[in-house]
Amino acid sequence: MQSSTLPTSLLKALRHVMRPLVRLMLRKGVTYLVFADLLKEVFVDVADREFRLDDKAPTDSRISLLTGVHRKDVRRLRNTSDPASSTLPENITFGAQLVNAWTCAPFCNDAGQPLPLPRLASVGGERSFDALVAKVSTDIRARVVLDEWLRLGVVRLDEQECVHLEAQAFVPQKGFDEKAAYLGHNLHDHACAAVHNLSSEGPAFFERSVHYDALTPMSVEALREAVASEGMQALLSFNRLAAELEFRDLPSLEQRQRITVGLYFYTEASDPDLPTAPKP
């Protein structure tokens, strides 16, 4: 199929979406040739898994026809992808469980805000970092978790040996591999929601944004602070509700589903060619 027969609006959107990803790749030395081979693998894998007829595995020829990837490359790349590569690393999922526990009694205040926790159970008892880790797993020593979280910038240790959660969600401030895992997870799920809504198949997922283009830097900072504060409160509220529902669902034999709820903020200089009149 020639590009001239494809929706111009879709190609324009894809070009725009790819710009920040290409920027990241260039910064990290991922060349076009490396990415092109990676993209071939993704095309082949998606065609193989999601474009089957009567639930039958497609032939190499059909995948080649669907994707435009040469049949010899289809044969080489087929069944080489690792499904586990799309899941978050174990240390991140374990960390998310700990953060969730930290926003529940007895490790939080009445508003659900994580409290500073004495590092040792001998000092803080059931409201200590030792107790928090033990609540989630008895197989991992609290000191090991603390050292790793200090490395990632997730927590800080004060002079009284109390552990403070630096971010109210498990978002590493350091550690490229951990942040890259979140990049893949969050962008993937956001893109899935947007693609689903564009396909008009079934009820739409909630996916909304607010955008302005004529704000001063001072106003942008005011909004940044509001999103960081009020947005985090909303996410903590959703987190508590999800935890309650998951606990309630434990006895159920129904098929399980995963969810992602996200919130983001971004700013950059406005296009000088755009109108700057205030919005009504």
If phi > 0 it is left, if psi is from -120 to 50 it is alpha, else beta; for residue 112 that is left
Give the integer Cα–Cα distance in Å for 18 and 267.
18
Please calculate the CA angle 87-89-93 and round it to the nearest 5 degrees. Answer: 90
Predicted local confidence at residue 159, as pLDDT: 93
Predicted local confidence at residue 85, as pLDDT: 59
Predicted local confidence at residue 274, as pLDDT: 53
User: Encoding tokens for residue 271?
Assistant: 């296009």
Reported for 220-225, long-range contacts at CB under 8 A and 24+ positions apart, including other chains, are 220/267, 223/265, 224/265, 224/267
Give the integer Cα–Cα distance in Å for 81 and 74.
12
Predicted local confidence at residue 104, as pLDDT: 84
First to last CA, the chain: 44
Residues 124 and 131 sit within 8 Å (Cβ to Cβ)? yes
Give the integer Cα–Cα distance in Å for 271 and 213.
8
Give the integer Cα–Cα distance in Å for 146 and 130.
9
**Reported pTM:** 0.75
Nearest Cα residue to 185 out of 88, 90, 96:
88
Gyration radius (Cα) of the chain, Å: 23
**DSSP string over 121-145:** HHHHTTSSHHHHHHHH-SSS-HHHH
Predicted local confidence at residue 131, as pLDDT: 95
Question: Which residues on adjacent β-strands are paired with residue 53?
Answer: 56
**Per-residue pLDDT for the chain (280 aa), expressed as one digit of tens each?**
455 678 999 999 999 999 999 999 999 889 999 999 999 999 999 999 999 998 899 999 999 999 999 999 999 998 776 655 566 667 777 888 888 889 888 999 887 788 999 999 999 999 999 999 999 888 889 999 999 889 888 899 999 999 999 865 556 667 788 888 889 999 999 999 999 999 878 899 999 999 999 999 999 999 999 998 898 888 888 888 888 898 899 999 999 999 999 999 999 998 766 555 444 4
